[in-house]
Structure 1
Amino acid sequence: MFLRFLLVTVLASTAGLGSAQDAIDPEGLNGPAGRPYSPYADRSYPTQVFFGDTHVHTGLSGDAGGGGTRLMPRDAYRFARGDQVTSNTGQPVKLSRPLDFFMITDHSDAMGAITDIIGGAPNIMADEQGRYFNEKFNAGGETAMRAAQELVAAFAQGEVSPALNYQPGNPAYARVWDDIIASAEEFNDPGQFTTFIAYEWTSLVQGNNLHRNVIFRGGPERAGQIVPYTTTPPIGSPNPRDLWAWMENYEELTGGNVLAIPHNGNLSNGWMFSLKDDFADGAQLDAAYAEARQKWEPLYEATQIKGDGEAHPMLSPDDAFADFETWDYGNLDASEMKTPDMLPGEYVRSGLGRGLALESELGVNPFKFGLVGASDTHTGLTAPENDNFYGKFTAYEPSPHRADHVSKTFADGSTALMSHQYITGGLTAVWAESNTRGAIWDGMKRRESYATTGPRIRVRFFGGRLFEATDALRRDLALVGYTKGVPMGADLPAGEGAPSFLVYALRDPMGANLDRIQIVKGWLDENGEQHERVYDVAWSDERVPGADGMLPPVGNTVDLSIPAWTNTIGASELGTVWKDPDWDPARSAFYYARVIEIPTPRWTAYDAVRFGVEMPNEAKMITQERAYSSPMWHTATKD
């Protein structure tokens, strides 16, 4: 069950098995099948894992700049690559470790407007709404934060004045986009710190969050030929189909490549994985929709500051880990409360299941996505560690009372969200051959990525039909994985018998030990109904499942008075080969791995000690961080 070796470079080993080995090895010095004696020779597959953030806002985004964020893209890049900067509230801040890659995703709608609003440009001051927001934003503090929320709500309901909603054709819009491109190019340092040109397409229909982060593979020579697509008619559209058409046109026009990553859907009120076309009066989805979504959106944001989106306890009542940092109050601007029927259209696991169902009808799976994690910070500061959390907005940078605010209210004045419910946000891990735009983008495109809730846990996940128990003990783990199977994000290879999975996780070297590895399976029964099951496949501390099949908790070493924890429980690494005991080749299914850490202090615990304050009674103080691999898929065989 457990791996008995400490391995970092194993995770980087890969298979590149030349078919001409016999010809170059006449003396038979190589091993079986003509492989080189060195397991690291002739490698041609992803050899390294890189950690970064795919969703970052600076003071150029209206809701960030309006709320007091003054850090701009160059500041954010400096911080992400490891420099110390001064935060928006004047505090010195630095990451424990630099990120490997990074992208700024400021909003495409109203690009360039916020600096004009704050600065009181003549065209803004000539507009009643412009004068209002100029006054509120310049007041700073709580007033500015509430005004930023008002601006988001006005945009969500289509009530922003055209004078404030800059669109392509506005000189300020083009100027800001050109500078976004220039700053990304300025900080791109292949091999050390990779930056991407990107933006957020902010579809927000009646407050329902359908945002996408649009990421370009290339540099300014291609991205500089266009300006971002917006959501405001007649130039833009909130309909994802129109975004995909724009992306196709971009590739045809420039010869470049682009992909989009949907924002986590827990604030979409069921629209993210809807079974109908919400932009066509609820018409049934068609094959063209499914093909386009699968092509242009190979990834999905599983976790970020605004809650975790992997699973929901109402949808997964038998999953003891499903209720993790759950946000289910309503849509983005709290204009509509959540109802239970909305939940299946919002979470990773239910979305993957709906994808299987739609594939059985349409012949194409529109929700065939890999997983990433991100911050969605609006401070310009990606700070995913609980002891270094700088909040979602400038108003929630470290302060004695940042955890006790009413963050959002419903129309009747009741509380929708408290500020202590924000979480530290996640990271994206990508297996790639090098730390470059092309290699990392290609890894994302093929879905060889995974999400973490912040820690830099290393995860390998392979599927096939040839894995044996001893494969989990190999030092050349990835060589075995790529030779005998396929990596996360791929379709399981055809073959006889139940699939087997080789899974391995190594803890963050600066983080907590691991509690367990689980494999999550979802499938369709003979009636097309969705089912799921979570299997504990590797765990620490020689625990034994009970009579009910449940694994006992790992324990808890957290001392909230410090706060701190000890790695006297859990394991530094876990891994195994697992074969599906409930295999049915006639049932379509997906599989992904979930890695759980031992309990550690949450950011609220650090605030309580550092500021000497009492946290609200309902504030969580302890967390169990985790990682989610991209899935693999089996398509039902036909008789």
Structure 2
Amino acid sequence: MLSAVVAACCTVMTLPSYAESVTTDAGSIDSKQVARFFQQKGYSPYAGRAYSTRPLWGELHLHTSWSADAIAAGTRVGPDEALRYAEGKEITSSTGQAVRLSRPYDWMMVADHSDAMGVMSAVLEGKSSLMTDPTLKRWHEGMQAGGEDASKVVMEIITLQGQGKLPEAMTDTKVQMDTWKDMTEIVESHNKPGTFTALIGYEWTSNYGGGNNLHRNIVYRDGKALADQVRPLTTFDTEIPNQLWDWMQGYEEKTGGQVLAVPHNGNLSNGLMFSTETPDGKPIDAKWAEARARWEPLYEVTQSKGTSEQHPSLAPADEFANFEIWDKGNLNVVPKEPGMIEREYAREALKNGLKLEEEFGTNPFKFGLVGSTDDHTGISSAEENNFFGKFPASEPSAERSTGNAFDFEGRTVKDWQLGASGLTAVWAEENTRASIWDAMKRKEVYATTGTRILVRFFGGWDFKPEDVLSRNPGAVGYGKGVPMGGDLTTPYNGAKAPSFLVAALKDSFSGNLDRIQIIKGWLDKAGKPQEKVYNVVWSGDRKLDKDGNLPSIGNTVDVANATWTNTIGSSELITVWQDPDFDPSLKAFYYARVIEIPTPRWTAYDKAYFADAKFSDEVPMTVTERAYTSPIWYTPSKQ
């Protein structure tokens, strides 16, 4: 099936003059309908434009040598070098390799752990005042030795941090505050409004109960003058998320600034990330729901330690749910028990949020979707052919084909299971801290697995098939509906169901587009959460089967040479889709998922580059990159 937007490109220049109709994927459109796109208030269609015209690319979650686990593992790239790299400069990795992004980022946040930020650099150096502590002295020796000895130091730090038993020198509040001011000074030096935005932030790293991942990245709207007024929260202060929200409230009250929190890796929380109890076993209530909705408007859905959109066991009909899944256990690879997975994945949380709203009056899981790497190398690497791993031990080498990314007492996750993911696209009006933060707060953002697909997604009651003919879907979308992250209520204009305008343009460095899907979640009449995946527009002449499924696009990847051809798929896709199963009395949400054709995974690039790399047959060599938009919610009006 030819993309509607491709058909539009071929016809729109001549249609107003003499054509009577044109047939697109959205249906037959007559010339009178098309003509309205040429009726502007003034000749320039861009005059008076007040919305963002391109997404700004970056990430919220990169660790440098100022994170204790990173430097213990051998990372020597600090925040200054990390930000220079994000700006497009070439730097040297911790293993001595030259590295550079294919294209600069528009913005980035270094999110080093607030716990013991910067302290381990002094341990590495063997600072005499610290070497009186036998644990720190042993860590110094292990870090100096490198290799497996350094890896054991990392695992011990994670374990002791989760138990609240780190050495006293690592919890000194004065050292922490001094280090924080040094960090904000570095970040401030890279912030160039209009050109490159360096966001101030950190990671609060709760491993409640020993490796149960409840991590949050704290994102400041503010600059150094406000950020320096309050000491960042650590897990030495608390490991309970609602107490983090209290800290955020206190920060805003004291400084007049603004912050938000972004949870990540629910897949490693062993059932705690989206539980209906607090980690210490207290049932959630309306106050808790209101606080989480306020302070956590976003969720990091994809990164190097797995993608947490949906688990295939929870959505067996979703053929794209089985993507870069990490489900062996928590951060310490403690195995999961039955019932945990249901409380770890974003789509399940979005559905359950509708149900909790019925109980508490507030949806605590009403979040948008972002992606980041969580790399601990000081190098944000979300490109398959430029992947520098999570720790220095997983930087490019023949050995990473068989190495362990995590090893806790023999419970392992292999390096090849790391994903080259992800990135965040922000629909901000300008490249400044305030504009980017505001877009995040209103959830006008989307996640990708590393590719830079351009995606527009709008919902409303008045989108028509001819809207696909506009070469400016943003103008149509903002003019007639709400963008990703928005809300729909009462139908109007006689609409029987909401309609959605969704458009995607391929990343020029990556694969063509296979399809766009819209994923719906809702509460049925019995109050039970439901979901359905709709294929709404696709490339080629494939046909949906009776169940709405679509045949495979095919695969052009040459694994031996780590190449592919864009001889299948489309460069762009656009459609207007109306929910065929809409019930105006039922709460629902919708988000778009854009799927690329298969391309080589980073493992295929390694196999082609390193002659002596040995990958087992279970290692995937191709990847289907994708984008996930933030949802649009529908809530019935109360009569």
Bin of the TM-score, shorter chain as denominator length: over 0.9
CA distance in 2, matches of 1:317, 1:462: 28
Residue 230 of structure 1: CA displacement? 1.0
Residue 277 of structure 1: CA displacement? 2.2
Whether the 8 Å CA contact 1:585–1:637 is kept in 2: the answer is no
CA distance in 1, matches of 2:584, 2:563: 47
Match of 1:133 in 2: 139
Residue 31 of structure 1: CA displacement? 9.7
Match of 1:101 in 2: 107
Q: Which amino acid aligns with 2:44?
A: S
Q: Which amino acid aligns with 1:521?
A: K
CA distance in 2, matches of 1:219, 1:484: 36
Match of 2:85 in 1: 79
CA distance in 1, matches of 2:401, 2:353: 38
Match of 1:223 in 2: 227
- Write the mapping of 1:61-76 to structure 2, written as runs, cut at 5 A: 61-76=67-82
Q: Which amino acid aligns with 1:166?
A: T
CA distance in 2, matches of 1:196, 1:589: 33
Match of 1:541 in 2: 540
Whether the 8 Å CA contact 1:6–1:573 is kept in 2: the answer is no
Match of 1:27 in 2: none
Residue 167 of structure 1: CA displacement? 3.8
- Write the mapping of 1:237-636 to structure 2, written as runs, cut at 5 A: 237-279=238-280, 281=281, 283-334=282-333, 336-409=334-407, 411=409, 413=410, 415-496=411-492, 497-612=496-611, 613-636=613-636
**2:192 matches 1:193:** no
- Which runs of 5 or more residues in structure 2 are unaligned? 10-35
Residue 407 of structure 1: CA displacement? 3.2
Judge which range, 607-616 or 587-596, deviates more: 607-616
CA distance in 2, matches of 1:614, 1:111: 37
Q: Which amino acid aligns with 2:632?
A: M
Residue 257 of structure 1: CA displacement? 1.1
Match of 2:171 in 1: 166
Residue 528 of structure 1: CA displacement? 1.7
Residue 251 of structure 1: CA displacement? 1.2
- Write the mapping of 1:172-183 to structure 2, written as runs, cut at 5 A: 172-183=175-186
Whether the 8 Å CA contact 1:167–1:230 is kept in 2: the answer is no
Whether the 8 Å CA contact 1:109–1:167 is kept in 2: the answer is no
Per-residue CA shift, 1:102-141, capped at 9, x if unaligned? 1110001112211121122233211121111111111112
Tell me, what secondary structure is at the counterpart of 1:401? helix
CA distance in 2, matches of 1:442, 1:223: 17
Judge which range, 117-126 or 550-559, deviates more: 117-126
Tell me, what secondary structure is at the counterpart of 1:243? helix
Residue 561 of structure 1: CA displacement? 1.6
CA distance in 1, matches of 2:301, 2:193: 27
- Which runs of 5 or more residues in structure 1 are unaligned? 8-29
Whether the 8 Å CA contact 1:264–1:300 is kept in 2: the answer is no
Residue 588 of structure 1: CA displacement? 1.0
Tell me, what secondary structure is at the counterpart of 1:463? strand
Question: Normalised by the size of structure 2, how large is the TM-score?
Answer: 0.92
Per-residue CA shift, 1:260-301, capped at 9, x if unaligned? 11112110111111112223x2x3211111111111111110
CA distance in 1, matches of 2:270, 2:474: 40
Q: Which amino acid aligns with 1:68?
A: G
Q: Sequence identity, in percent?
A: 51
Distance verdict in 2 for CA 1:485–1:66, change over 3 Å = same
Match of 1:16 in 2: none
Whether the 8 Å CA contact 1:463–1:501 is kept in 2: the answer is yes
CA distance in 2, matches of 1:159, 1:186: 35
Q: Which amino acid aligns with 1:127?
A: D
Whether the 8 Å CA contact 1:515–1:570 is kept in 2: the answer is yes
CA distance in 1, matches of 2:566, 2:619: 24
Whether the 8 Å CA contact 1:405–1:418 is kept in 2: the answer is yes
Q: Which amino acid aligns with 2:356?
A: L
CA distance in 2, matches of 1:199, 1:410: 26
Q: Which amino acid aligns with 1:507?
A: K
**2:5 matches 1:3:** yes
Q: Which amino acid aligns with 2:143?
A: F
CA distance in 2, matches of 1:35, 1:146: 67
CA distance in 2, matches of 1:410, 1:131: 22
Residue 6 of structure 1: CA displacement? 8.9
Q: Which amino acid aligns with 2:48?
A: D
Tell me, what secondary structure is at the counterpart of 1:184? helix
CA distance in 2, matches of 1:157, 1:360: 36
Tell me, what secondary structure is at the counterpart of 1:125? coil
CA distance in 2, matches of 1:228, 1:159: 19
Residue 220 of structure 1: CA displacement? 1.0
CA distance in 2, matches of 1:278, 1:331: 14
Residue 495 of structure 1: CA displacement? 1.2
Residue 175 of structure 1: CA displacement? 2.4
CA distance in 1, matches of 2:301, 2:6: 31
Per-residue CA shift, 1:368-410, capped at 9, x if unaligned? 1001000001000001110000000011000001121233345
Whether the 8 Å CA contact 2:8–2:468 is kept in 1: the answer is no
Q: Which amino acid aligns with 2:171?
A: Y
CA distance in 1, matches of 2:637, 2:441: 26
CA distance in 2, matches of 1:530, 1:31: 40
CA distance in 1, matches of 2:386, 2:619: 18
CA distance in 2, matches of 1:162, 1:331: 26
Residue 65 of structure 1: CA displacement? 0.4
Whether the 8 Å CA contact 2:458–2:500 is kept in 1: the answer is yes
The count of residues paired between Structure 1 and Structure 2 equals 606
Per-residue CA shift, 1:407-428, capped at 9, x if unaligned? 33455x3x44111100112000
Residue 450 of structure 1: CA displacement? 0.1
Tell me, what secondary structure is at the counterpart of 1:581? coil
Per-residue CA shift, 1:335-375, capped at 9, x if unaligned? x2113411121111001011111101000000110010000
Whether the 8 Å CA contact 2:405–2:418 is kept in 1: the answer is no
Match of 2:20 in 1: none
Whether the 8 Å CA contact 1:31–1:37 is kept in 2: the answer is no
1:58 to 61, 64, 73: 64
1:212 to 204, 211, 216: 216
Match of 1:18 in 2: none
Q: Which amino acid aligns with 2:199?
A: F
CA distance in 2, matches of 1:596, 1:363: 35
Distance verdict in 2 for CA 1:531–1:121, change over 3 Å = same
Q: Which amino acid aligns with 2:512?
A: N
Tell me, what secondary structure is at the counterpart of 2:399? coil
Question: Normalised by the size of structure 1, how large is the TM-score?
Answer: 0.92
Whether the 8 Å CA contact 2:535–2:548 is kept in 1: the answer is no
